[in-house]
Homo-oligomer: A and B are copies of this chain.
Amino acid sequence: MATRIAEKGRDAERTAADILAAAQHVFAIRGYADAKIRDITAMAGANPALVSRYFGGKLKLYAAALDAALDARLITDLDRATFGETIVARFVEDRTDRVQPLPIMMSGASDTEAREVARTLLHDRIFAPLSDWFGGEAAMLKAARFMIVSTGFFAYRDQLPLDMFGGPVDSALREWLVSEFQAIVDTP
């Protein structure tokens, strides 16, 4: 959760990073509109005014949070033989503080301006590169399949939690997800 460990001296860079990390969490589970600046900064142990100072406002903070979640790792280190397993491991067993980009994207749907930010980044940073990586005739369809399944999964894990998604993901569900993602790359 990137909670402040010890009392820190005055460090703008560190404070901005704390705010960004808190923003990722709050945006991801509460939605853009319901994510209050005061909540985010409280979680980061910072002052609300600093959002405007360091990021230029809520919308820019959202864009920064999304951008940071979209690190370059998405496509690299992907192997076609173990695609499904790799993806699912990243989705459900990532024990780092990393916040998944897709829930943050969906969260932007609750605001007209944030939606445009999300749409653009979604296309440029996930859909297009993924489509390129799949390649071939059905590349776009494969990318769409990936997005549909991933987004549906996160929707019920993070946003509208259903009982069976809580805690450690049910093993049968996990198995299905693996085969589902693997089937995408295995499709001719």
In the complex, which residues of chain B have a beta carbon less than 8 angstroms from the beta carbon of A138?
172
A111, B34: Cβ atoms closer than 8 Å: yes
Which of the candidate stretches A8-16, A55-63, A80-88, A160-168 sits at the interface with the other chain?
A: A160-168
Is A38 interfacial (CB 8 A cutoff)?
no
Is A152 interfacial (CB 8 A cutoff)?
yes
A147, B118: Cβ atoms closer than 8 Å: no
Q: What are 16 pairs between A and B in contact, CB < 8 Å?
A: A31-B33, A32-B110, A106-B106, A108-B160, A109-B160, A119-B162, A122-B160, A138-B172, A141-B164, A141-B170, A144-B156, A144-B162, A148-B152, A149-B152, A150-B152, A152-B155
Number of copies: 2
Beyond A148-B152, A148-B153, 13 additional contacts (C-beta under 8 Å) are A31-B109, A32-B33, A33-B33, A34-B111, A34-B112, A105-B160, A106-B106, A106-B160, A108-B160, A127-B162, A144-B156, A149-B152, A151-B151
Chain B residue nearest to A171 (CB atoms) is: B141
With A147-B162, A152-B147, A152-B151 in contact, is A173–B141 under 8 Å at CB?
Answer: yes
